[in-house]
Amino acid sequence: MVKWLAVGLLILMPTLAFASRLSEHGISTIPLPPSAVFVYEQVIVPWLHSEFKKDISDDKLSIKRNLLLTEFFRYEVIDGQKRYSIHIEYAVRTKDLTSQYEFAGVRAQEIVFWVEDKEVIDYFPFNEYTLEAILI
């Protein structure tokens, strides 16, 4: 009996450790499967980093962004599609090139990713919200 209990705990421990490490804000309340954590770490996080490297400035506005935090908090299969719910926080610095006003702040957003075969098929971003902002 003790042997089976020990084996059960060994199987569950990585799942519980991943869930607590990946959800440091306490958003996730259920353990995340290790296969979903693998997809998050190997597919979604690199995809997010590549998106944040892209320049989204234009001739009137200079925008610099830096990804600060990503947090995996929910995995669901909806109509056969694997969905990964991610919370991100990022620093943003915006400069109006005509008036020279500059804003800096930290913003956050939740995004649901649809991933199949280690590829982001689509993503569904929710509205961004400001955590902190200042006029420089």
Question: For the chain, what are the domain ranges?
Answer: 2-135
Task: Round to whole Å and give the CA distance between 54 and 66.
Answer: 11
Does residue 79 carry a pLDDT above 80?
Answer: yes
| pLDDT tens, position by position, 23-68 | 455 555 567 889 999 999 999 999 999 999 999 999 999 999 999 9
Answer yes or no: are the C-beta atoms of 36 and 84 closer than 8 Å.
yes
Answer yes or no: are the C-beta atoms of 125 and 104 closer than 8 Å.
no
pLDDT band at 101 (very low <50, low <70, confident <90, very high): very high
Question: Which one, of 99, 115, 104, lies nearest residue 37 by Cα?
Answer: 115
